[in-house]
Amino acid sequence: MTEYSCIRTETQGRVATITLHRPEALNALNSTLVRELIGAALAFDADSGIGAIVITGSEKAFAAGADIKEMAELGYSDMYLGGPFPGWGGFERMRTPLIAAVSGFALGGGCELAMMCDIIIAADTAKFGQPEINLGILPGFGGSQRLPRAIGKYKAAEMVLTGRMMDAEEAERSGLVSRVVPAAELLAEAAQTAETIASKSLPAVYAAKEALQVAQETPLSEGLRFERQAFAAAFATEDQAEGMRAFAEKRPPEFTHR
Ligand code: CAA
């Protein structure tokens, strides 16, 4: 069992949960937290016994951004060489679906971490923002690219250029979150969603997640070509045969993830 100082991990059946835990700093993402988060997430990703991962924080903060105190003394070369936060590339290439369960502040790197996930479930207390502009910098974990893709150019520009926060209701209306739930139900709802995903065929889930990612990154024609191949490949799996047989026999499928 790996010992962590800034996160907590837990598994229940095929679902893993990673809880950011730096209560003294509203879960600000320092180098230790980021290293532990990425390490834990990649280890779960490599485990075919895990079918979905929930990432969450505390009631007050999912994460209030990159750790400003740690970054304050760094210069260009420090940041360009990877700074205190190398390794996001591997995190972004993970195949296991990630569900961000967001309560309280998701600011700067916290908002960007949520946007690296596949599904964002927000408590009605959630607040999203990219306040880097107030610090004389700009988003650095993908915010200037993912936010306009999620909510459109004009809302994203207002948030990135003014640092304004969005509450959960506005975030849902804007397409930034999948769903808003009462704060007291956040973890149960996220766990339920994760369990639902983890009960499906793992090869089909990996392929579906990859196809959704391709949709963010390529022109439609290329995405459709990818989907056609991935769809055909699904017919090489045992789970496809089982899923369709179970439908015909009017029973739940028993996927073996093969
Ligand atoms: N980095 C380091 N420490 C942080 C932090 C951060 N991002 N956010 C909060 N903290 C610390 C505070 O310094 C404070 O510590 P002390 O008690 O030792 O002073 C503690 O967490 C509690 O915070 P506050 O007292 O400020 O709590 P609040 O409820 O009054 O305000 C807040 C909450 C509005 C979120 C405020 O803390 C805040 O504005 N935080 C900074 C948000 C921010 O600018 N995030 C962007 C960071 S840059 C970034 O993320 C770059 C990137 O894209 C990768």
Bridging pattern class, strands 52-56 and 127-129: unpaired
Atom 19, ligand 1: residue with shortest CA distance = 25
CA 24 to ligand 1 centroid distance, Å: 10
Query: Among residues of the chain, what percentage have pLDDT more than 70?
Result: 100
E strands in 50-94: 52-56, 61-63
Atom 13, ligand 1: residue with shortest CA distance = 25
For residue 106, CA distances in Å to 78, 112, 143, 164 come to: 25, 8, 12, 12
Question: In testing the pocket of ligand 1, which one of 20, 68, 91 has its CB within 8 Å of the most ligand atoms?
Answer: 68
According to the model, what pLDDT value does residue 87 have? 84
Place of tokens 């700093």: 25
Q: Is the pLDDT of residue 6 over 90?
A: yes
Give catalytic residues, as residue numbers: 66, 109, 112, 132
CA 25 to ligand 1 centroid distance, Å: 7
Predicted ipTM of the assembly:
0.98
Residue (of 112, 121, 107) closest to 149 by Cα position: 112
Quick count: other Cβ atoms within 10 Å of Cβ 53? 26
Atom 39, ligand 1: residue with shortest CA distance = 64
Closest atom of ligand 1 to CA, residue 67: 1
CA 103 to ligand 1 centroid distance, Å: 15
Q: Is the pLDDT of residue 246 over 90?
A: yes
CA 27 to ligand 1 centroid distance, Å: 9
Q: Is the pLDDT of residue 85 over 90?
A: no
Q: Is the pLDDT of residue 1 over 80?
A: no
According to the model, what pLDDT value does residue 172 have? 98
Q: Mean of the pLDDT values across residues 189-211?
A: 98
What is d(CA 164, CA 62) in angstroms, rounded to the nearest whole number? 17
| 129 and 107 Cβ atoms separated by less than 8 Å | yes
Q: How confident is the model at residue 55 (pLDDT cuts 50, 70, 90)?
A: very high
Question: In testing the pocket of ligand 1, which one of 20, 26, 162 has its CB within 8 Å of the most ligand atoms?
Answer: 26
Q: Which residues line ligand 1 (CB under 6 A)?
A: 25-26, 28, 64-69, 105, 107-109, 112, 131-132, 135, 139-141, 143
According to the model, what pLDDT value does residue 24 have? 97
Closest atom of ligand 1 to CA, residue 110: 50
Q: Mean of the pLDDT values across residues 107-121?
A: 98
Q: Mean of the pLDDT values across residues 222-249?
A: 98
Quick count: other Cβ atoms within 10 Å of Cβ 231? 12
Q: How confident is the model at residue 226 (pLDDT cuts 50, 70, 90)?
A: very high
Closest atom of ligand 1 to CA, residue 108: 50
Q: What is the pTM of this model?
A: 0.97
According to the model, what pLDDT value does residue 83 have? 77
